[in-house]
Amino acid sequence: MSMFDKLAEVENRYQDLEVQLADPDVLAKQTVFLKLAKERAEIEELVHTYRVHKKLLTDLDENAPLLRESDPDLRTMAREEEQRLLQLREETESKLKLLLLPKDKNDDKNIVLEIRAGTGGEEAALFAGDLFRMYCRYAERKQWRVEILSMSEAAAGGIKEAIAMISAPSSGKVYSDLKYESGVHRVQRVPETEAQGRIHTSAATVAVLAEAEDVDVKIEEKDLRIEVMRSGGPGGQSVNTTDSAVQIMHIPSGIIVRCQQEKSQHKNRATAMRILRTKLLDIERERQESAEREARRLQVKSGDRSEKIRTYNFPQDRVTDHRIGLTRHNLQKFMDGDIQDVIDALRAHHQAEALRGEV
């Protein structure tokens, strides 16, 4: 089936959906109506672009006879119009190819963001804290909600580990924007404790996991070992006075999740289960995709935690994404959450790979 045959099918489906959505019987069934409305919304941009493309083809056909007119001024205008229409046709064809690429089923999901200090001791913990703030500032720019699920602070400042849920309104695509951030982030700078002014290299790991829903992962109660304990941490009336912290071990996988952010044991258990469910979904997704991803040798990997994906060089005021060879200056602005252009470049690179059949 050619691209345009497929586009014609999608347009026919869109027309069918419009008829169904206007049906009083469908309007009376809210669940059915919402499902059909969502399907229509998912293909609306594709259908609109296809219709623009068809109009351009019609305009080119109508302009063709003018190229053979005896009036030279008319022929000149016709040639200029033809060039304009051909350029627009090329642009819409490129856009149609992108819109037809298979969608990542997780793109519309919220995420669980995990940041951990890596090599580099205290400086790594400070850098992990800087990265967490960077993503929080980015989320603020997007008007997303950040909910801290677990936080382990380092003694000298920064964080050893932070786990947060980042969610958006129904129109937001958190995973779609942040899925390429998973990996090892490296920093080169002079620590405040360095008396000689020497540059140190430290690292932190970032993991972006699509939030799992109850239907995504089935967890058997018999596979869980749940323990409650006293919360630990600085300050707070309930710290070390109530058994509110919850630790859950998933026996088959060996995954251990601990949560003590809330004063309520019930709330901590619910949060820990959200994290566990998301981790198990990510493991299953990685298992399904690993062989295919290795064969394709993606330059932009969606979850390879061992790869150094980006370097933040403070003395030279630059950030470099090694996967696409992109370097950007004004590092402070980047650390303040202004990272959209790099995210867009990563997405464009991934789409280009997909169009070449390498994804």
Using CA atoms, how far apart are residues 236 and 223, in angstroms rounded to an integer? 33
Q: Is the pLDDT score of 332 beyond 50?
A: yes
How is the chain split into domains, by residue range? 3-99, 108-211+309-359, 220-295
Look at residue 352 and tell me whether its pLDDT is greater than 90. Answer: no
Locate all alpha helices (DSSP H) within 142-184, ordered by sequence. 174-178
Please tell me the predicted confidence (pLDDT) of residue 318. Answer: 96
Please give the residue that has the higher pLDDT: either 188 or 213. Answer: 188
pLDDT at residue 253, as a whole number? 87
Helix, strand or coil, per DSSP, at residue 264:
coil
Confidence at residue 195, expressed as pLDDT on a 0 to 100 scale: 61
Helix 72-99 / helix 3-21 crossing angle, nearest 10 deg: 80
Q: b/e map of 135-160 (b: 16 or more CB within 10 Å)?
A: bbbbbeebebbbeebbbbebeeebbb
Q: Token digits for 342? A: 């790099």
| Predicted local confidence at residue 307, as pLDDT | 63
Q: Which pTM does this prediction carry?
A: 0.68
Question: Is the pLDDT assigned to residue 106 strictly greater than 90?
Answer: no
Supply the pLDDT for residue 297: 42
pLDDT at site 241: 52
In angstroms, the CA 47 to CA 16 distance is 13
Instruction: Name the average pLDDT for the chain.
Output: 85
Distance CA 276, CA 229 (A): 18
Side-chain half-sphere exposure of 305, counting CA atoms within 13 A: 13
Strand 318-321 to 326-329 pairing: antiparallel
Residue type, 240: N
Mean pLDDT (whole number) for 90-99: 91
Q: Which residues of 311-339 are buried (b: 16+ CB within 10 A; e: fewer)?
A: bbbeeeebbbbebbeeebeebeebbebbb
Summarised one tens digit per residue, pLDDT across range 33-84 is 999 998 898 899 999 999 999 999 999 999 999 999 999 999 999 999 999 9
* More confident position, 88 or 121: 88
pLDDT, tens digit, for every residue of 259-303?
A: 887 778 888 888 888 888 888 888 877 776 665 445 444 333 433
Average pLDDT over residues 179-191: 92
C-alpha distance across the termini of the chain, in Å? 20
Residue for token pair 């963001």: 113
CATH code that applies to domain 220-295: 3.30.160.20
Q: Choose between 86 and 252: higher pLDDT.
A: 86
Residues 6 or more apart whose CB falls under 8 angstroms from that of 120 comprise 127, 187, 200, 201, 202, 203
Tokens of 254: 């060996």
Q: What is the pLDDT of residue 300?
A: 35
CATH number of 108-211+309-359: 3.30.70.1660
